[in-house]
Chains A and B, each alone.
Chain A
Amino acid sequence: MNIFVCVKQVPDTETKITPTGDGSFIETASIKWIMNPYDEFAVEQALLIKQSNPAANVTVVRVGPTKDTEALRTAMAMGADDAILVETNENLDSYSIAKALKGAIAKSGKTADIILTGKQAIDDDALQVPQVLAEMLNLPSVSVIVGFEVSGNAIKVKREIEGGALEVYELGTPCVIACNKGLNTPRYASLPGIMKAKKKPMTQLSLTDVGVSDSDRRVKYSQFRLPPEKPPGKKFEATDPAKQNDVVSQVVGLLRTEAKVI
């Protein structure tokens, strides 16, 4: 069984985001890169499948710059067998990334049985790649999954929708599964794991190798900017119980007449 896990490297959640002077993107010089948190659930799920199916091979695939390969190394230190890096310094859109992943999987020479991804990358928050990749490969997909059971060739997954309700799907392999928080608890990469990961193979490909060019760009971003600061709000003193009724009545009134939200 061949399992592919698509991972992305994103700025640490605590990173302060500063748009560049010309607004073409954000300042990346001082960013600490981490594996996209949702992708960790995908890596963990792949390793759980491998645990009950030791013959399974887990390949992690990433599209991005070579400068830092933390996400791939972390995945291999957690237990993935090998890695593919499609190297690019460009900020690709979801369509191009999905196409690059498809190309990388094809180049690996392996037939994918299960492709796992995070439900979204927390940089562009586009939530597109898993479904686009599935459609490009003509495979079924289920996104935002919080439950995963496999028995033989049948997979049963639980997809979380609005209000916390769950849609239970059944499907076969091959397929694309996009993982959400709550699916599992990702393991830590142990220190011996980090040492072992150094020796695991990492294939590097270019965008040309995977058949992606400028003409594949569908979504263009520009004018990166900080969200507008709100004008200062109104603050009312109501520590004195005698004033409280008036203050609250006034604020509730303003919510209707001024803010128009009630």
Chain B
Amino acid sequence: MDFSLTTEQREIRELANKFAKNEMIPYAQEYDERGTFPIDQFKKAWELGFINTCIPSEFGGSGFSSVDSVVISEALAYGCMGMNTAFMANDLALLPIVIGGTTEQKKKYLTPFTQEFKIASFCLTEPGNGSDAGGIKTIIKDGGDHWIINGSKMWITNAGYADLFVVYGTIDPALKHKGISALIVEAKSEGIELGKKEDKMGHRSSDTRGVRFNNVKVPKENMIGKPGDGWGIAMSTLDHSRPLVASSALGGAQRALDLSIQYSKERNQFGVPIAKHQAIQFMIAEMGMKVEAARLLTYKAAWLCDQGIRNTEVASYAKAFASDSCMQITTDAVQIYGGYGYSKEYPVEKLMRDAKLIQIYEGTSQIQRLVMARELIK
């Protein structure tokens, strides 16, 4: 058994840490306040090879393992969970193509992402269907030599900047899960209508919108797999993406822990730094314990994925535990900072707002528990 990262992974982590420190942290507060999309950081991160880590080397990617991706995402989320959501969304959108796409689709749609900076968006959730993804209402109709999409998508990350959408719909709502299908849709296609940017509690720098598909024509060859393969592709995408989302919570939690330790040594109350008070020590111990446990679960979920071992159960543990812990840790960080923690002048209230979303998106903490129970009791 070996818990250590390889030399290469340590170097990758160093680089990502440095990027987070120099390019993300100095802007995170301002971008959050103004809701600025981190386009400069996104491009720089792409130039350095941090984006689209899921693309295999035969299609021009760097050939990163799931563990490598988690190392990068943890470090970047440490810089800003909101910006990291924007970065990570490319992977979430491209993963269905990596998992279920044909060689032609991969060449046509993955390779360009390694050659120039492009943004992709994953469209699953609908105004009326979140956790109940099987109840999708977006209709994919066979138009002879093409498909026709009609329907509304909600909370679509990067939608306003996307070059490419991966859209889930159904060929027949009555078929439930068995009717779900996935299409690769170019953003320039006619009939795509973007909603206004959502004014969110956290992850305010990431661009989140509704997207309407009005009779959007998509070439036949753009379906990933066959009609009805969508659910299976979505499920295996989640096995890959949940460790990544967990690592984002992990990075945010680590930041809250580091800031809490730093502040508790500087802040004096009753004549001593508050770190000398047991009440604070216990909170910090609790934070440290949870961060480390979340890290072990996250890295194990990614490692299982790399070994080709089914990780559905552990990936859900990781996603739920890391995001719930991140919420608790960032809330405690605000508590340790006291009045200052509640002020926007200090960085911890933003962490608390950002943490909340990770418990919600990519399968709520409650859905994760359903998955765990199903895996455990089956």
Measuring CB to CB, which residues of chain A are less than 8 angstroms from any residue of chain B? 34, 70, 73-74, 77, 188-192, 194-195, 198
Verify if B15 is at the interface (C-beta below 8 Å from A). yes
Residues in A with CB closer than 8 Å to B19 are: 188
B19 nearest CB neighbor, chain A only? A188
B15, B18, B62: residue with the most chain A Cβ atoms closer than 10 Å: B15
State whether A188 touches B11 (Cβ < 8 A): no
Verify if B49 is at the interface (C-beta below 8 Å from A). yes
Verify if B48 is at the interface (C-beta below 8 Å from A). yes
State whether B49 touches A192 (Cβ < 8 A): yes
Minimum CB–CB distance for B251 against chain A, Å:
18
Q: Taking chain A's interface residues, is the majority helix, strand, or loop, or is none over half, making it mixed?
A: helix
* Known A74-B11, A191-B15, A194-B12; further 11 A-B contacts with Cβ < 8 A: A73-B7, A74-B14, A77-B11, A189-B15, A190-B47, A191-B49, A192-B62, A194-B8, A194-B11, A195-B8, A198-B8
Measuring CB to CB, which residues of chain B are less than 8 angstroms from any residue of chain A? 7-8, 11-12, 14-15, 18-19, 47-50, 62
Known pairs A70-B11, A188-B18, A188-B19; A195 contacts B62 (CB<8 A): yes
Minimum CB–CB distance for B273 against chain A, Å:
14
**Bound CA–CA A191/B48 (angstroms):** 6
B11, B47, B50: residue with the most chain A Cβ atoms closer than 10 Å: B11
Residues in A with CB closer than 8 Å to B14 are: 34, 70, 74
**How many cross-chain pairs have Cβ atoms below 8 Å apart between A and B?**
34
**Bound CA–CA A188/B49 (angstroms):** 11
Residues in A with CB closer than 8 Å to B48 are: 188, 190-191
Minimum CB–CB distance for B52 against chain A, Å:
11
**Bound CA–CA A40/B339 (angstroms):** 40
Residues in B with CB closer than 8 Å to A188 are: 15, 18-19, 48
Minimum CB–CB distance for B23 against chain A, Å:
9
Residues in A with CB closer than 8 Å to B18 are: 188
**Bound CA–CA A188/B7 (angstroms):** 18
Known pairs A188-B18, A191-B62, A195-B62; A73 contacts B11 (CB<8 A): yes
Minimum CB–CB distance for A235 against chain B, Å:
12
**Bound CA–CA A243/B47 (angstroms):** 59
Residues in B with CB closer than 8 Å to A70 are: 11, 14
B14, B47, B50: residue with the most chain A Cβ atoms closer than 10 Å: B14
Contacts A/B (CB < 8 Å), 7 sampled: A73-B7, A77-B15, A191-B50, A194-B8, A194-B11, A195-B8, A198-B8
State whether B49 touches A190 (Cβ < 8 A): yes
A69 nearest CB neighbor, chain B only? B7
**Bound CA–CA A191/B14 (angstroms):** 11
A34, A73, A77, A188: residue with the most chain B Cβ atoms closer than 10 Å: A188
Residues in B with CB closer than 8 Å to A192 are: 49, 62
Residues in B with CB closer than 8 Å to A73 are: 7, 11
**Bound CA–CA A135/B172 (angstroms):** 82
**Bound CA–CA A166/B61 (angstroms):** 46
